[in-house]
Structure 1
Amino acid sequence: MTATADAEAAENGLTPLADYLGSVLRRLRALPPLDLDLTQAYGNVLAEDVVAPHSFPAFDQAAVDGYAARWEDISGGGRGVGYVPAQSSRPGGRTVRLNVVGDLGAASWRPVRLTPGSCFSVAAGAPLPIGADVVVPVEWTDQGMAAVEIFRVPKRGYGVRRTGEEVAAGALLARSGTYVSPALVAVLAATGIGHVVVRPSPRVVIVATGDELVDVGRASQPGQVVDANSHALTAAAAEVGALAYRVGICDDDPEGLRGLLEDQTLRADLIITTGGTGTGPGDMVRRILSRREGSRAGPVTFTDVALYPGTALGFGTVGAEEVPVVCLPGDPGAAMIGFEVLARPAINLLAGAEPVFRPSVRAHLLETVSSPAGLREFRPAHVAERRGGGYTVQPLNGGPFTLSGLAEANGLLVLGERVTAAAAGSTVDVLLLDRRR
């Protein structure tokens, strides 16, 4: 954001978005680490570096089904037999014949040794006989049981996995801050790790406020508005990796709201409310949470931010435990954008994840768009990769229709405070949204 944009936002009585986010995120700290069983660690972020206690593979083993042999026995004493097609091996073709002295499976554990001119039938994963330096694949042989005829000679070391070939004991497997993926779980388990120290997934409670709200399953009518926010934000928090709990609807009752939030501080690392962040007569959340009661620290501060859609955001702490609370607007589209801008980075920070913001790309704008002056707009968009490199972005419904646009968006077009119009063909910033399909 430029100094000019900051000045324009200040003239409008609005706080620049970058300044606001910085002030909020500086007040948050990652949750204390936990030692978790490996099966429970998926989706969390490592709180310390992880070093391999053992090698992987832990012993020399066969990588394919076949016959473990000495390469000098099948290569003709170093002269090289080369490739001989199976069909020509009957008369006249040159092949190698070895005695099969035993079978080894993945569960074999007794050490055995090869003698010249012999081999072992082995399964993938079986320990290699002492002296073996090659495994001939089954399909390159006649699959003999007492003796085997080899039609094709592989290179020395083919089909063999040596101890520590993939991971050596003492190697750094992952640094602190690394996301625990299924593949990382496999590596950790394979090297003998059963527990890891991680940042726990934040417990996030979502509360929708307003006398007008009714639950889903019916149509809105005058005086009643279906609660879309608590359902959508619970899903959004879960998408980030939080343990999300939907409390449901809370009426605009001061004592009821205070009591509900006090109760939720016992099981929450973050509380998200929607509705009541404005200055109208029915905006009870702002009126109640912005008050300082007695000497209690940590009131919620409501700020008019240079953000579109939705400008009024709240942040602070509630309860004796001083649990962080994020207050989002009641309009569903504005609530979803507010979640992306403020709540999502807060959840990532609590989880110890980096970076806390979504990845972004520069994209070629396909359609001219207008934007309100002095506000940073986040507009739903569809991003596509261009043949030959780069991206294109097609704007979707925004402004009062942001909610419908978000349903089909895979990105958010970002238009700065000084932008009142962006022409087709210009290059713009786009945040990339997660999409499972």
Structure 2
Amino acid sequence: MSTAATRTAGPDHLWTVDEHLEDILATVRPLEPIELQLLDAQGCVLVEDITVPVSLPPFDNSSMDGYAVRVTDVAGASEEFPAVLTVVGDVAAGQAEPLHVGPGETARIMTGAPLPPGAEAVVPVEWTDGGLGDGPVTGMRARSQAPEAATGHVHVYRSAEARAHVRAKGSDVKAGDRALDAGTVLGPPQIALLAAIGRGTVRVRPRPRVVVMSTGSELVQPDEQLGDGQIYDSNSFALTAAARDAGAIAYRVGAVADDAETLRDTIEDQLVRADLLVTTGGVSVGAYDVVKEALSSVGDEDEEGAGIDFRKLAMQPGKPQGFGSIGPDHIPLLALPGNPVSSYVSFELFVRPAIRALMGLDDVHRPRTRATLTTDKALTSPKGRRQFLRGRYADGEVTPVGGAGSHLVAALALADALIVVPEDVESVEPGTEVEVVLLG
């Protein structure tokens, strides 16, 4: 990982959204690969191509409960003139030494069991009398009575083509095929495939460990009693959930009071379990903006190249931002504003891509599309700022949700998209096509 922010800019520089994101992604590097057990690798990104060592299925097997037969022995079979075959035994799944089926013979076979030598097809048990000698076995009777006949004779009432109800060896994947490509995110189906081809461990980039903490003496934890001038801490919950949604292992730290030394001590305590630190609040220009006070000089004395750069961005919401690295391992830290909407929008634009970059993904961004703005009146936007408004998207249309206030948590909860208004646009009329960031 490179050290801290690489872009040189004065304190009065107004950063664009793209400049700030570019600086973050130029600094954050994918985590080093490790070998993990399959279930521990869920959600991780493969760093190797996976080649199939053994075909799936590894042998010809039955797709039905029934009887393994030779095609010539059941040719022309009907209910009026059934084929009568000698049952030489059972073939169960996992059976090591399958029976041999000769002329006029059959073996009762279970789903998944290997097709015995000599057999060419499988007739379902419903096409037979189940060895009971009194007509075709169907429905519940097929399931309850047929298993009683393991030897003796069976009447078959329908013919079967070669390979009928047989899963061919290698019909899923063949030995030597590529099962999964490097860069694949491992979900349940991919883990199932790895297990099916005998892989117990896999080499991946681990899920990033993200520590989230909010700041502010006014913050109270949910379920506690609110005092005068206090509010519940929602940001740390929102951002921790968002980090997990992005693929990280996220840890939430309770709100830290407005004390610079306490905040620095808390951050230093968290470094041992963090690949990325996220703070929210205390990055503006107020008298109690302790994140700036605590972190502005971090690393200047001890860690060469470390430090946090606090910036103003040409965006709304989310103008004040901080970014850099901290500690001897240069753990990246993103300091977000404290207003709920500002912090969440900032997370989507900057923290989520950083998490995805740590995971080693090629595409780190939320999907974007174009949509028709459906609203009763024009949207206004401050000149020179890229504005991100909450919206609901469906079928190529997007509708604003709530106002532009960065404190409107209820409106945020109803949104599944961000409406992007460019820096050079001050008004957007209904019916205009706009860019939309899809959050769902």
Query: If the TM-score is normalised by the length of the shorter chain, which range does it land in?
Result: 0.7 to 0.9
Shift of 1:312: 1.0
Shift of 1:39: 2.0
Q: Among 392, 396, 406, which residue is 1:382 paired with?
A: 392
Contact 1:358 1:433 in 2 (8 A): yes
Between 403-412 and 299-308, the greater mean CA deviation after superposition: 403-412
C-alpha distance after superposition, 1:258-289 (max 9, x if no partner): 11111111111011001111122221212331
Shift of 1:221: 5.8
Distance 1:117 1:421, change over 3 A: farther
Between 374-383 and 306-315, the greater mean CA deviation after superposition: 374-383
Alignment coverage as a number of residue pairs: 406
Contact 1:201 1:242 in 2 (8 A): yes
Query: Secondary structure at 2:402's aligned position in 1?
Result: coil
Instruction: Give identity over the alignment, percent.
Output: 41
1:373 alignment partner in structure 2: 383
Between 213-222 and 414-423, the greater mean CA deviation after superposition: 213-222
How far, CA to CA, are the matches of 2:125 and 2:20 in structure 1?
66
C-alpha distance after superposition, 1:98-137 (max 9, x if no partner): 2221111113111322112221111101111013221111
1:140 alignment partner in structure 2: 127
2:42 alignment partner in structure 1: 42
Shift of 1:418: 2.2
1:272 alignment partner in structure 2: 278
Distance 1:188 1:281, change over 3 A: same
Shift of 1:61: 0.9
2:134 alignment partner in structure 1: none
Shift of 1:318: 0.9
Shift of 1:421: 2.5
State how 1:283-294 maps to structure 2 within 5 Å. Answer: 283-291=289-297, 293-294=300-301
Which amino acid in the other structure matches residue 280 of structure 1? G
Contact 2:99 2:107 in 1 (8 A): no
Gaps of 5+ in 1: 1-9, 386-390
- So what's the TM-score if we normalise by structure 1? 0.88
1:3 alignment partner in structure 2: none
1:4 alignment partner in structure 2: none
Shift of 1:94: 4.0
Contact 1:206 1:273 in 2 (8 A): yes
Which amino acid in the other structure matches residue 68 of structure 1? A
Distance 1:365 1:139, change over 3 A: farther
Distance 1:424 1:137, change over 3 A: farther
Gaps of 5+ in 2: 1-9, 132-148
How far, CA to CA, are the matches of 1:236 and 1:163 in structure 2?
44
How far, CA to CA, are the matches of 2:346 and 2:391 in structure 1?
17
1:27 alignment partner in structure 2: 27
How far, CA to CA, are the matches of 2:31 and 2:289 in structure 1?
32
Which amino acid in the other structure matches residue 373 of structure 1? K
How far, CA to CA, are the matches of 1:398 and 1:168 in structure 2?
57
How far, CA to CA, are the matches of 1:272 and 1:338 in structure 2?
11
Query: Secondary structure at 1:407's aligned position in 2?
Result: helix
How far, CA to CA, are the matches of 1:220 and 1:380 in structure 2?
29
Query: Secondary structure at 1:300's aligned position in 2?
Result: strand
Which amino acid in the other structure matches residue 253 of structure 1? D
C-alpha distance after superposition, 1:312-365 (max 9, x if no partner): 111101112211101000101111111111111111111123311112222232
Contact 1:229 1:330 in 2 (8 A): yes
Distance 1:105 1:268, change over 3 A: same
Contact 2:312 2:319 in 1 (8 A): yes
2:142 alignment partner in structure 1: none
Distance 1:152 1:198, change over 3 A: same
Shift of 1:222: 4.8
Does 2:106 align with 1:119? yes
How far, CA to CA, are the matches of 2:247 and 2:72 in structure 1?
55
Contact 1:219 1:226 in 2 (8 A): no
How far, CA to CA, are the matches of 1:422 and 1:73 in structure 2?
77
Shift of 1:214: 2.2
